[in-house]
Structure 1
Amino acid sequence: MSRRRPPDEGDELLARLGSLTAQARERAELQRSRVELALALQRGMLPRDLPVAPGYRLAVQYAPACSGLNVGGDWYDAFTLPDGRIGLSIGDVQGHNIEAAAFMGQVRVGLRALASVTGEPGELLARTNDLLLSLGGELFATCTFMRLDPASGVLESARAGHVPCVWATADGKSGIAQDEGGPPLGVVGGVDYPVTRYRLTQGGLFVLLTDGVVEGPRLSVDEGLDQVVRLAGIAAVAGMEAGSLAAAVLRGADRSGHEDDAAVLVVGHDGLLADVRRMRP
């Protein structure tokens, strides 16, 4: 003769299951709200407009990470400096949560504020690094800052632990920028960030990006950079618009299976003939 579970035990089990389900829904809703808040922070802290300079084109593409319920802290920025030159920055904050998104805003605002005092890339990164250390936070950020002089085409670049940029010319040459660089921002004080100078003439272009563009489960950083180098070379020869190139680079990031933020910033000089070369300090 089979034994039957008393009705009160079954009711208690169903009640417990219902309670656990309700708690799971509440946690999921809380996490979803945190993600939405972080995404809103990201959107609000990124620039809405890009500087305009005769003969030059700037374009950006950005895809926030949403792996599971996480978000990242990548950013891009472009703004006019007090002397008329253009500041370009791109970076990546450690972590994938709302704190990373908020810290991203601090770094970007800090760079902009300090750029009103000095636009020299090496000194600007050093001052931003000291500022972040003085705030006493636990996060750090990688960053590349470039200063473009539209009158001469000179690009001055300093890098703080960030993935290098890619360059290309209209005659088919392309490669990875060989900046010496320094450590990430917010790690150690008293650091010097070397400055590398390039000249961007007609038809040349630079692609600034974050590691989410060139690294993923199906792609190493080196393989990803090589992919962007090839794409940038083709784009320069074909005279592709900066916006089209930025979009194409981001599509390549999607193929890598990346789970991180992905940001692309392209600066190009209009024209048919080009030469991008490293200048001696």
Structure 2
Amino acid sequence: MQVLVGWDNPNEAETIGLFLNVGDIQAKITTDPEEFENAAAMGVWDVILMALNFPSLEKSFALFTKVRALQPEAPVLGACYQGEVVHLARFMSHGLHNFVTRDAGGEFILLLGSVIESANQAVLAQRSKQLAERLREEIESVRQLQESVIPRDIPTPPGYRIAARYEPAQIRVLGDQPVILAGGDYYDIFSMDANNLILLVGDAAGHGIKACMSIMTMRTLIHMIQDKSYVDTAHFVAEVNQRLANKAIVQDEGGFITMMYCTLNTATHRLQYTSAGHPMPLLHNLRTNEVTQLGGEAEAGMPLGIDPNETYHSVSVDMPEDSRLLIFSDGLTDAFPAGGDMYDQFGEKGIIKCLQSAASLSLDEALDKLFVDSQAFTQGSGRHDDTSAVLVERTSLR
């Protein structure tokens, strides 16, 4: 800790130097007001201590004001005699951090080390609080940017219902104050033409600005090339991957994006999908209450942005009447209790159990139950990853 001391009494100044220059404290003590002011102008000080009659009772306030202006971040401590309360009040009202009372025997010198340490810790705590608040504000602005691309108007083709939801993860700073993280999740639902509906969920590795910007980059690419004719979802995903592999924002620090990309023909009720390292969709037959995972590891390609030459596979299945299709990010499966084994997760088993118990509920209620149940599984700690889910229902014609 760097401490600057301006003092009026040379004998006391020498003693103060002996007491302060121990341990982590490096103190510069001067009895020359010009040297004191120059040191304040040239150096970086953690704490400044000055006698409030230095260089004299009449000139000390002017010197204090100059030093405060030169070192606005450093706390200034004062030392005065008992009879100088009126004099002290002027300093306190103009930013003096704290003061010690001098005594004729010099015993107050024994307290200076702890007073200086306390002032330094108080300033560091205040700076940490301000930094955390700025961090919270920056994260909130990025999060709002990310959420601005989440679709609000979801197309609903005849014979179908669609519900979708995104929830960010949370961290805690400064005790119990939560910060909602800017995340790397993204879902989109849009019509290619009268009969073909696009459904996708993406998940960039990590949290924060980088993950958010990776997702924004992917979304931009998808909307740039969505008008091209792609008969096969694998070809579309391969082109997105090739373009993302050349983007530094995605590849930096080993970044990548997983994605589930689906096309649903609402006339033939044929679903085609491609996974780029993403969890496979689940198909729920409402008549039998059976839930089936569509595909496995053999169909799951490498995440986007790693290998520009990666080959992807497409899978096609029929979506029967009275069935629901769930596309989701791993924030749903990876929910686990605080202090518990992270491998003891909500998992696919929890999702399947929830879907089956929600078979008689409306689509919106079923989706809400998925989020409520996975949150409850964490026993109050909350999901540690942001979570997206798209739930599609093909209704009965009867």
Query: What's the TM-score, normalizing by structure 1?
Result: 0.88
1:165 CA displacement: 1.3
How many angstroms apart in 1 are the aligned matches of 2:275 and 2:219? 15
Whether 1:266 and 2:391 are equivalent positions in the alignment is: yes
Counterpart residue number, 1:207: 326
| Secondary structure of 1:159 counterpart | strand
1:52 CA displacement: 1.6
Match of 1:48 among 144, 148, 152: 152
How many angstroms apart in 1 are the aligned matches of 2:265 and 2:237? 18
Alignment: residue pair count: 269
- Note if contact 2:146-2:182 (Cα within 8 Å) is conserved in structure 1: no
1:263 CA displacement: 1.0
1:133 CA displacement: 1.0
Residues 217 and 228 (structure 1), Cα distance of their counterparts in 2 relative to 1, 3 Å cut? closer
Counterpart residue number, 1:161: 277
Counterpart residue number, 1:18: 122
Report the residue type matching 2:394 in the other structure: H
Whether 1:107 and 2:218 are equivalent positions in the alignment is: yes
Q: How does 1:236-255 map to 2 (within 5 A)?
A: 236=359, 238=360, 240-255=361-376
Whether 1:117 and 2:263 are equivalent positions in the alignment is: no
Residues 85 and 233 (structure 1), Cα distance of their counterparts in 2 relative to 1, 3 Å cut? same
Counterpart residue number, 1:186: 305
1:16 CA displacement: 1.1
Counterpart residue number, 1:279: none
Match of 1:91 among 166, 183, 202: 202
Report the residue type matching 1:61 in the other structure: R
How many angstroms apart in 1 are the aligned matches of 2:312 and 2:163? 26
1:12 CA displacement: 2.3
Report the residue type matching 1:57 in the other structure: R
Q: How does 1:167-178 map to 2 (within 5 A)?
A: 167-170=283-286, 171-178=288-295
1:67 CA displacement: 2.2
- Note if contact 1:169-1:233 (Cα within 8 Å) is conserved in structure 2: no
How many angstroms apart in 2 are the aligned matches of 1:126 and 1:197? 17
Aligned-pair Cα RMSD in Å: 2.2
1:175 CA displacement: 1.7
Residues 223 and 145 (structure 1), Cα distance of their counterparts in 2 relative to 1, 3 Å cut? same
1:5 CA displacement: 4.9
Report the residue type matching 1:126 in the other structure: A
| Secondary structure of 2:228 counterpart | coil
Q: Which runs of 5+ in 1 are unaligned?
A: 274-281
Residues 111 and 256 (structure 1), Cα distance of their counterparts in 2 relative to 1, 3 Å cut? farther
| Secondary structure of 1:197 counterpart | strand
1:113 CA displacement: 2.4
How many angstroms apart in 2 are the aligned matches of 1:121 and 1:221? 34
| Secondary structure of 2:300 counterpart | coil
Larger RCO, structure (CA 8 Å, separation 6 or more): 1
Counterpart residue number, 2:244: 132
Residues 4 and 225 (structure 1), Cα distance of their counterparts in 2 relative to 1, 3 Å cut? same
How many angstroms apart in 2 are the aligned matches of 1:88 and 1:224? 22
Question: Quick check: 114-123 or 19-28, which moved more?
Answer: 114-123
Highest CA radius of gyration, 1 or 2? 2
Residues 10 and 229 (structure 1), Cα distance of their counterparts in 2 relative to 1, 3 Å cut? closer
How many angstroms apart in 2 are the aligned matches of 1:145 and 1:210? 12
How many angstroms apart in 2 are the aligned matches of 1:16 and 1:222? 44
- Note if contact 2:329-2:389 (Cα within 8 Å) is conserved in structure 1: yes
Residues 124 and 64 (structure 1), Cα distance of their counterparts in 2 relative to 1, 3 Å cut? same
1:223 CA displacement: 5.2
Match of 2:351 among 228, 235, 244: 228
Report the residue type matching 1:196 in the other structure: V
- Note if contact 1:125-1:145 (Cα within 8 Å) is conserved in structure 2: yes
1:99 CA displacement: 1.5
Deviations 1:90-143 (A, max 9, x none): 021011111111211111222232221134311111011011012233221001
Whether 1:76 and 2:187 are equivalent positions in the alignment is: yes
| Secondary structure of 1:46 counterpart | coil
- Note if contact 1:214-1:220 (Cα within 8 Å) is conserved in structure 2: no
Which segments of structure 1 move beyond 6 Å, counting only runs of 4 or more?
none
How many angstroms apart in 2 are the aligned matches of 1:9 and 1:172? 72
Counterpart residue number, 1:276: none
Residues 216 and 234 (structure 1), Cα distance of their counterparts in 2 relative to 1, 3 Å cut? closer
- Note if contact 2:336-2:345 (Cα within 8 Å) is conserved in structure 1: no
1:195 CA displacement: 0.7
| Secondary structure of 1:67 counterpart | strand
Residues 268 and 96 (structure 1), Cα distance of their counterparts in 2 relative to 1, 3 Å cut? same
Whether 1:141 and 2:257 are equivalent positions in the alignment is: yes
The share of aligned pairs that are identical, in percent, is 22
Deviations 1:16-46 (A, max 9, x none): 1232122111211121112212211221121
